[in-house]
Amino acid sequence: MYDSSLFGLLQMLCETLKNEAKFLSNVGNQIADIRAEINRIQCFLQDADAKKIEYETVRNWIADIREVAYDVENILEKYMHKIEMRKDRSIWKENIALHNIGMETKDVMSRIENIKRCMNTYVDTGIRAICQGESSAEKNQWLRRSYSHLVDEDFVGLEKEMSKLVDELINEENDEFHGVFAICGMGGLGKTTQARKAYHHVDVQSHFQGFAWASISKQWQARDVLQSILTKLEPENRKQINKMRDEELVKALYNVQQRKKCLIVLDDIWSTNFWNSVQYAFPKGKGSRSKILITTRKKDVCEHIDPTCFLFEPRCLDAEESWKLLHKKAFPRVNTPDLKIDLELERLGKEMVSECGGLPLAIIVLAGLLARRPKIDEWRRTSQHLNEQMSGESFGDDGGIHGVLALSIYDLPYQLKWCFLYLGNFPEGEKISARRLYQLWAADEIIALEANQGEETTMMEIGERYLHELAQRYMVQVHLEETTGRIKSCRLHDLMRDTCLSKAKEENFLKTVSPQHLHQPMRCASSAKASSTRTVRRLSIIVDNNDVRNYFSTDDKSFQHVRSALFFPRMTGREGTAYPLPLFQGLCNNFTMLRVLHLEKFSFEEILPRTIGNLVHLRYLSLRHSHFQRLPSSVGNLMYLQTLDLRVNFFSYLTLPSTIPKLQNLRNLYLPPSHQNTYKLELSPLSNLEMLKNFDTQVSPFRDLFKLAKLQKLAAVLSLEFDEMKEIITHLTLRMGRLRETSFRIYYNFHSEKDLTLLKQLLGCDHLRKLDLIGHISKLPEHHFFSQSLTKLTLRRSGLQEDPMVILQKLPKLFTLSLRGNAYTGKVMCCSPQGFPLLKTLKLQGLPNLETWRVETGAMPNLVHLEIEDCKKMEKVPDGLRYLTKIQEITIIDMPDTFQNRLQEVQGEDFKVQFRKFFDAKKFPKIKSRMIFSGHMFSGLLQTICPSTVPQEWKKL
């Protein structure tokens, strides 16, 4: 007789299994439904953002919807990952994963239904409110500070006042009266621009012998500031400066200002405490010809530093100057003095610019807004919105500039808005690499590929277009590559950064954590204006010294929704800021939905923990300038990775796992600068690569490059025999059509005619930008064999007997030239008129037979940096140096006394050029390195410099 209770239990279990099977079979349908729902949600959010809702209730609903959108994206990612991993899982594990996803989907759909009930559906209440909504008059208070990188060309007005400041700076009769000069005024007034105008003035540059610029701001570190200034004044002594104790640093900086005339700019000082910490490093009064130029918003700071300082208080621009600046920026393409514009446009422009209170920064931002709206109706609407933004505000101590800055954000298209807010991730004053920014945008899905008719657009191209548009609106300041004209890096003005962070906080887009918040508990939720609690999705953490472990608990599960985590060490020594292994393991275990992990300049254990493989949703991983020696094989689990940056410290000598080829979604791969494996690192499976840096034929099969059909940018070290070299050069020149930019370091001796033919083929590559040739060259090919795109050339151990300048000076885009280690064995070298039209840096190192170097009138007209080292027979300085009017820095190392003495006469009356910096390394004590090299580390060094010298026993380590 059976047990009735057991039978009932079995019936319940059977029914449960049936229901579970039905539930699991329906998960796919739920995913399809939620995918459609996310599309509707995203459309709603874009419409809502375009209307700038002023109703707080609707703003609360929008915030809730955005939270749901994030969670839906997480569910979809988990589901897609489950599909990808199905073949590697047991049925039991698959069903568990599917069940969890199904439960999350039900929960999210329930939340969506609740929001719908509150709103009486999106279309009814929500869209009606959106259609009725207008711009709200937000009255956020933002921190505002000036910074050092406003462009000088924006300078309008105050020319006479600036001329007086320059005259006082170079007036030696007033040395004992004025050692400190101060530019004092309100935020946004252009103090930094005015300081830069004076700093770069031709009379100032020729008057002083040493220059240093330091941006102070609120989060200053006295040692960092003093170290930075002394390094700029004596860069040849950098290693010794880094090792100085605090008292040695103060004394050394004091002495260098006594020895030579220096101009030191301390930009953006906020408090007297800063000066109290550094004052003993700066001589004042009689005996010092050096000058200090400060910028500050507080007059009491000037009086505290020096009651007798020369005080320059720039006024706000008057109406005419304000209109002139707006006119210049709003009509950049047709900016001529006699340009006539529509009278109504002029009236509206003058009316709007009057709201800027004469603040240059506010005028520039407003101009960027108006430049994109050339029609009268658009200017009228902008004027109306600007009045609403400014309503109730006055130009008091800090001015109403935040109204203008906020308006520039509200005007951004939906996608561009998030691109701008993402810049808030970076620390104040950070120079942001444009390429890195594009990669981060792509990894965090801030930007996405766009469908173009018959054209395949890359993420880099889209990112570049977005950043260019932000620059056109004067919301970011950009630095262009001289060789290509493309954006190289960007920065946020401090006022614009404050605006960015305020808006990012309001949108719950980003949470920043800095050392001053260290003792506040860091949770992954933040309170928005609404009563509900929002989950933090992005973290930007500034780490002070070795306090990484104090920022969050390793067992905190609240971080599982974080999508990006960027860590920035504030101070790094030679070994970098320590990142304890348990903390890193906790990060890998708890940040389960992480897409972006930025961990640069940290010091880890010898091998990263295997738990890094748990971050299966990662798209971006950067460990640049960090210290560790092995990457675990579990990195192969990161199947969605798009960018992997392994440019660790050179002496880390990183060993890579064989699982790298599994990362088939990689678009950007930065290999270590020194690495070597006991096996060949196969890269051919990485068919989606668009950028590959530090490829080495001693580590990876050179034919792997042939299979990377999407490759656009390549930097490689080639050390091959003739047949292999011919094969790879032929492929790079003829078959890699998408390749846009290449940089090579090549170890090869070009002796025979067939070798020279190969060299001509290499030099003719259209995409060749940088080339480092190490080895004999019997004869340099004529200039027409060189790529017209070549910008940097280094020749080492070439043994050329004929003057290479005859050929090289005809290269039209050459910016940097280095001749090193017997590159030329002749006695005479000549630079002819019109030679080297764009050359900015020239290095002559280790040319033992060179006796005479002639520089004729008109040669190297743009040369800025010159370095001459170990050319023992060159005793006379070329008379032609007198014509190099743009040169700023000359470095001489291990040269004859007669050469040094003659070079110092360049500062005399018979030479019209005066150098900004003049170094003689022989005058400084040699510093013995304390770094102990192991065979492991030395192998990486030798592998890069001379592969054939690496001992076999080191290769086996």
How does pLDDT run across 821-850, given as a tens digit for each residue? 999 999 999 999 999 999 999 999 999 999
Q: Which residue has the tokens 């080339």?
A: 771
How far apart (Å, rounded) are the C-alpha atoms in residues 241 and 219? 22
Per residue in 448-480, pLDDT (tens digit) is: 766 554 456 788 889 999 998 888 777 888 888
**Least confident span in 429-443, 483-497, 902-916, 930-944:** 930-944
d(CA 242, CA 927): 12
**In this prediction, what percent of the chain has a pLDDT beyond 70?**
68
Going by pLDDT thresholds of 50, 70 and 90, the confidence category of residue 690 is very high
Instruction: Encode burial over 159-173: b for 16+ CB neighbours within 10 A, e otherwise.
Output: eeebeebbebbbeee
221 domain-assigned: yes
Residues 6+ apart with CB under 8 A from 601: 569, 572, 576, 577, 624, 625, 626
Do 185 and 325 lie in one domain? The reply is: no
Residue 369, pLDDT score? 78
Mean pLDDT of 744-749: 95
Residue 678 contacts residue 956 (beta carbons within 8 Å): yes
Q: Of 269-278, 395-404, 812-821, where does mean pLDDT reach its minimum?
A: 395-404
Distance CA 262, CA 258 (A): 9
User: Is the pLDDT confidence value at 683 over 80?
Assistant: yes
Claim to verify: residue 265 and residue 164 sit in the same structural domain: yes
pLDDT at residue 655, as a whole number? 84
CB-CB neighbours of 433 under 10 Å = 15
The arithmetic mean of pLDDT across residues 216-241, rounded, is: 86
Selected residue with higher pLDDT from 705 and 141: 705
State how beta strands 432-433 and 487-491 pair: antiparallel
Which is higher by pLDDT, 288 or 401? Answer: 288
Amino acid (1-letter code) at residue 668: N
Residue 858 makes CB contacts below 8 A (sequence gap 6+) with 833, 834, 835, 883
What is the full DSSP assignment across 30-78?
HHHHHHHHHHHHHHHHHHHHHHT---HHHHHHHHHHHHHHHHHHHHHHH
Model confidence at 526, pLDDT cuts 50, 70, 90, reads very low
Are residues 390 and 430 both part of a single domain?
no
DSSP per residue over 539-580, as a string? EEEEEPTT-GGGSS-TT-GGGGG--EEEEEES---TT-EE--
Q: How confident is the model at residue 345 (pLDDT cuts 50, 70, 90)?
A: confident
Which CATH number do you get for residue 421?
1.10.10.10
Residue that wins the pLDDT comparison between 574 and 937: 574
pLDDT at 910 over 70: no
The predicted pLDDT at position 154 comes to 55
Stretch 441-449: mean pLDDT: 87
pLDDT at position 4 over 90: no
User: Is the pLDDT score of 384 beyond 60?
Assistant: yes
Predicted local confidence at residue 383, as pLDDT: 78
In three-state form (DSSP H/G/I as H, E/B as E, the rest C), the secondary structure along 685-709 is CCCCCCEEEEEECCCCCHHHHHHCC
Instruction: Give yes or no for residue 7 having a pLDDT over 60.
Output: no
Let me know whether 39 and 126 are in one domain: yes
* Contact present, 826 and 805 (Cβ < 8 Å): no
Average pLDDT value for residue range 390-410 = 55
By mean pLDDT, which of 44-48, 389-393, 843-847 is the weakest? 389-393
CA distance 889 to 98: 65
Asked whether residue 165 falls in the same domain as residue 303, the answer is yes
Instruction: Give residue 286's pLDDT.
Output: 56
Residues 771-776: what's their mean pLDDT? Answer: 96
DSSP helix/strand/coil, 949:
helix
Cα radius of gyration (the chain): 31
Which of the listed residues 445, 478, 506 is the one where a domain comes to its end? 506
Query: Coil, strand or helix: which one is 773?
Result: strand
The angle formed by the CA atoms of residues 566, 567 and 570, to the nearest 5 degrees, is 140
Higher per-residue confidence, 102 vs 488: 488
State the residue range of the domain holding 266: 158-312
Q: Is residue 360 part of a domain?
A: yes
Q: Give the 3-state secondary structure of residue 885.
A: coil
Three-class SS of residue 777? strand
Coil, helix or strand at residue 114: helix
Residue 942 resides in a domain = yes
- Hey, how many other C-beta atoms are within 10 angstroms of the C-beta on 550? 14
Inside any domain, residue 664? no
Which of 476, 491, 506 is the C-terminal boundary of a domain?
A: 506
Select, from the ranges 86-95, 104-113, 532-541, 751-760, the one with the highest average predicted confidence (pLDDT). Answer: 751-760
Q: Are residues 210 and 308 in the same domain?
A: yes
Same domain? 178 vs 290? yes
Bigger pLDDT: 707 vs 346: 707
pLDDT above 90 (res 626) = no
Query: Taking residues 205-223, what's their average pLDDT?
Result: 86
Check whether residue 838 and residue 892 sit in a common domain. Answer: yes
Q: How many residues does the chain have?
A: 957
Distance CA 573, CA 602 (A): 10
Q: What's the whole-number mean pLDDT along residues 46-64?
A: 56
Within-domain flag for 437: yes
478-522: pLDDT as tens digits: 888 887 888 999 998 877 888 888 888 888 888 888 765 544 545
Contacts of 333 (CB under 8 A, 6+ apart): none
Give domain status of residue 742, yes or no. Answer: no
Residues 368 and 351 both lie in one domain: yes
Question: Domain check: are 124 and 213 in the same one?
Answer: no
Phi, psi of 81 (to 5 degrees): -65, -35
422 lies in some domain: yes
Task: Enumerate the β-bridge partners of residue 326.
Answer: none
911 Cβ contact list (under 8 Å, min separation 6): 881, 882, 905
Mean pLDDT, residues 376-403 taken together? 60
Give the CA count within 13 Å in the CB-facing half-sphere of 26.
10
Domain membership flag for residue 259? yes
| H-only helix segments in 391-536 | 401-410, 414-422, 434-443, 459-472, 494-506
The answer to whether residues 318 and 358 touch, using CB atoms and an 8 Å cutoff, is yes
Poorest-confidence range of 238-252, 568-582, 883-897? 568-582
- Higher pLDDT among residues 299 and 6, named by residue: 299
Residues in a beta bridge with 217: 269
Which of 339-348, 708-717, 720-729, 912-921 bottoms out in mean pLDDT, i.e. has the lowest?
912-921
**Helix, coil or strand: residue 666:** coil
Distance between CA atoms of residues 346 and 328, nearest Å: 13
In the predicted model, is pLDDT for residue 622 greater than 50?
Answer: yes
Helical segments of 859-934, H only: 897-904
Q: What is the pLDDT of residue 192?
A: 86
Judge whether residue 150 has pLDDT over 60: no
Q: Looking at the structure, tell me whether residues 195 and 235 fall in a common domain.
A: yes
- How many C-beta atoms lie closer than 10 Å to residue 949's C-beta? 10
Where is average pLDDT lowest: 2-11, 683-692, 721-730, 934-943? 934-943
Q: Cα separation of 113 and 108, whole Å? A: 9
- Report the chain's mean pLDDT, rounded to a whole number: 76
Across 733-760, average pLDDT: 89
Whether the per-residue pLDDT at 912 is higher than 70: the answer is: no
Residue 60 predicted with pLDDT over 80: no
**pLDDT(928) > 50:** no
Between CA 273 and CA 301 the distance in angstroms is: 9
**Residues near 520 by beta carbon (within 8 Å), at least 6 away in sequence:** none
**pLDDT tier at 791 (50, 70, 90 boundaries)?**
very high
* Distance between CA atoms of residues 48 and 136, nearest Å: 13
Same domain, 851 and 824: yes
Give the SS3 label for residue 480. Answer: strand
Return the structure tokens found at 657.
């796992």
From residue 922, give the alpha-carbon distance in Å to each of 211, 286, 899.
Answer: 22, 31, 13
Q: What is the pLDDT of residue 137?
A: 34
End position of a domain, from candidates 475, 506, 537: 506
Q: Going by C-beta distance under 8 Å and a sequence separation of 6 or more, which residues neighbour residue 139?
A: 392, 393
Least confident of 149-163, 240-254, 850-864: 149-163
Number of domains in the chain: 6
